[in-house]
Amino acid sequence: MPRQPDSAGVSCPQCGSDLPRNIRFCGACGNALSTRASATRPSSPAWSDRSAAPPVAEHAATGGGERAVHGGVERAGGQVRCAAFLLDLAAMISPAMPLATAAAVLGVAEVIYIVLPVALVAVWMWLQIWQGLTGSTFGKAMLGLRLVRDGDYGAPGVGATLGRSLIFVATFGLAGLPVLLNSDRQPGWHDRISGLTVLDVAAGANPLGRRPQATLRRSANRGLNRVHSPIPIPASRRW
């Protein structure tokens, strides 16, 4: 039987380049690889066939209960989802401070009663459109999460994200209680009704693209948290 090449099924977690097994550094981006990171990992082209049926679900036991794992993808936990929501909420209400200051300085109350609500709705719509087309928002991008369709892990679509957000607002946030109360990372009621789910693409595979580096989360592979110089530095000038 012919021997399989060492590079089969192994990729760099930062740039996605194919690598030999047990290599310590990526030859393309210079990323330092731990033993776990250099183990066999499905590469991103495996997700190119969006028409394929989703893999069979498994349950991996962890210290905090069970986590839902679906053939390499992993559902996001309640804590990281709550943190992403708070970041999105902060982004949505960000126009409030400058507009309130402008209203106080100019002495125009209409800025508070008319301009501010319009600005809040505009930011909310922008977040839903961004999320519908890419599965990402400000908070999800910062924490390595993606919103996808629960059936085939495709982009959710603007209509589904709008419906999901309206259900959450109409229930005063109670639709998200299953996310916080269940230890096995079950989706919320607004997720189930809209047919969507939130994946942790910093810990598992990313069906919507290359696995990202989560900006605000500590990675198990500390090499992912290094900042590389965009300008090559000659070896003679390094110190």
Compute CA distances 135 → 13, 47, 66, whole Å.
20, 15, 24
Query: For residue 128, what pLDDT is reported?
Result: 94
Q: Using the predicted structure, report yes or no on whether residue 99 has a pLDDT greater than 70.
A: yes
Instruction: Write down the pLDDT at residue 183.
Output: 73
pLDDT digits (tens, 9 = 90+) for 76-96: 999 999 999 999 999 888 888
Banded model confidence at residue 157, pLDDT cuts 50, 70, 90:
very high
* CA 152/CA 207 separation, integer angstroms: 9
By C-alpha distance, which of 125, 155, 152, 130 is closest to 141?
A: 130
pLDDT over 70 at 55, yes or no: no
Q: Which residues pair with 145 in a beta bridge?
A: 200
- Band (12; pLDDT cuts 50, 70, 90): confident
pLDDT digits (tens, 9 = 90+) for 194-237: 999 999 988 888 888 776 666 677 655 544 445 455 555 565 55
- Structure-model confidence comparison of residues 16 and 93, the more confident one: 93
Question: Which tens digits make up the pLDDT trace of 166-205?
Answer: 999 999 999 998 888 877 788 899 999 999 999 998 888 8
209: how many CB neighbours lie within 10 A of its CB? Answer: 14
Q: What local confidence, expressed as pLDDT, does residue 98 receive?
A: 85
Predicted confidence (pLDDT) at residue 39 exceeds the cutoff of 50: no
User: Could you tell me if 88 and 127 are in contact, meaning their C-beta atoms sit under 8 angstroms apart?
Assistant: yes
Q: What is the DSSP letter of 72?
A: T
Report helix, strand and coil shares of the chain as percent, to nearest 5.
40, 10, 50
**Residue bearing tokens 């922008």:** 126
Residue 9 scores a pLDDT above 70: no
Segment 33-49 shows an average pLDDT of: 45
pTM: 0.60
pLDDT digits (tens, 9 = 90+) for 100-156: 888 888 888 887 888 888 888 899 999 999 999 999 999 998 898 999 998 889 999
